[in-house]
Structure 1
Amino acid sequence: MVEVRAATYDDLPRVAAIYAPYVTDTVITFELDVPVLAEWRQRYDAVVGAGLPFLVAEDEGDVVGYSYLAPWKTRPAYRQTAEDSVYLDPDARGRGTGGELLDRLLDAARAVGVREVLAVIADTGSDVSVRLHRSRGFRDAGRLEQVGFKLDRWVDTVILQRSLGG
């Protein structure tokens, strides 16, 4: 049984390990260099310091996925809009873990006053992330063409949006 809970500093080495192959082997993230643990601590501090949720999914004591919200933009008028991120260990895919993380993230977003959640998803040719978000009420909000260049190819992003009301 997967338990979703607030992340702690102790979870960050596992978070870093889950994320690293996405950086090195895929275009799912446009990051080119694997973030070191110190960078993860800074990211965690920035998310939590902004009053936003950073969650992990734990299965039998092992962190198998994580999700968090980050401010969409730094200008104050955007303060109620956030971008979500959801990443899973490959062995955790297809078991509902991503949906559980996203559901809990949306609940936490509401609790901290986020009104709009955006998902900016690399168009990798797989629609898994898009389907996950649509199944949670996200709607298509746009496409940015050829905005990322990684692994010798140009990649589009799809933008989905979920209004939490308020």
Structure 2
Amino acid sequence: MTAIAIRDCRPGDLPAIARIYGHWVETGRASFELSPPGEEEMERRRDAILAGGYPYIVAEDADGTVLGYAYVSAYRPRPAYRHAVENSVYVSPEAGRGGIGRALLTALIARCEAADFRLMVAVIGDSANAPSIGLHAALGFRHVGVLPSIGWKHEQWLDTVLMVLPLGPGDTAPPGRP
């Protein structure tokens, strides 16, 4: 694996993030968006995540090139769900299979545990998405279900795979944050 640094996302990262995400929207089945959002929309989304108190991070190489990004957001908006987060991890197609996704997700898990979140949910687009399913499983996520044929993209029906990872003490103790 190339030497990488994991750091908080900065506004200057948004062109790379929009490019990475745009690639996967156009060519992949992990995201169920049909058209890539532009930089302005990606900035709006990032700002909303940060305003909610959630981490948004990037992986960069020694030259400062953004190789991937990851964040969590609220799993659901109702207050009882406030201790559960949903993760998203996207890696540049040029940097795939190089450990970038693992480094990002590992860092994201650590940040969420430090913030006293108790459950991380992976909502993985496409049951054939072996790299994402394998990454989550390798980091301790367990499979809890499949929503069959829930999305239509690239002229085919796609499943959503649900995986979860308890964080910190999980459900064995009450949360410390409101």
Scaled to the shorter chain, the TM-score interval is over 0.9
> What's the TM-score once normalised by structure 2's chain length?
0.90
Q: Which residue of 1 aligns with 2:145?
A: 142
Q: Which residue of 2 aligns with 1:54?
A: 56
Q: Which has the larger radius of gyration?
A: 2
Q: Is the 8 A contact 1:67 1:102 kept in 2?
A: yes
Aligned mate of 2:86, from 60, 73, 83: 83
Q: Which residue of 2 aligns with 1:37?
A: 39
Distance 1:81 1:150 in 2: 28
Distance 1:156 1:114 in 2: 27
Q: Which residue of 2 aligns with 1:119?
A: 122
Q: Is the 8 A contact 1:51 1:112 kept in 2?
A: no
CA drift at 1:165: 3.2
> What's the TM-score once normalised by structure 1's chain length?
0.97
What's the C-alpha RMSD, in Å, of the aligned pairs? 1.0
**2:75 is aligned with what amino acid?**
W
What is the CA deviation profile of residues 10-49 of structure 1, one whole-angstrom value per residue up to 9, with x for unaligned ones? 1111100111011111221100111111111111111111
**2:157 is aligned with what amino acid?**
W
**1:21 is aligned with what amino acid?**
H
**2:81 is aligned with what amino acid?**
Y
Distance 1:78 1:153 in 2: 32
Q: Is the 8 A contact 2:55 2:72 kept in 1?
A: yes
3-state SS of 2:54 partner: coil
Task: Give the % identical residues.
Answer: 39
CA drift at 1:111: 1.5
3-state SS of 1:41 partner: helix
Unaligned runs of 5+ in 1: none
3-state SS of 1:86 partner: strand
Equivalent positions of 1:84-103 (< 5 A) are 84-103=87-106
Q: Is the 8 A contact 2:150 2:160 kept in 1?
A: yes
Aligned residues: 166
* Greater Cα shift, 88-97 or 65-74: 88-97
User: Is residue 132 from structure 1 mapped to residue 119 from structure 2 by the alignment?
Assistant: no
3-state SS of 1:131 partner: helix
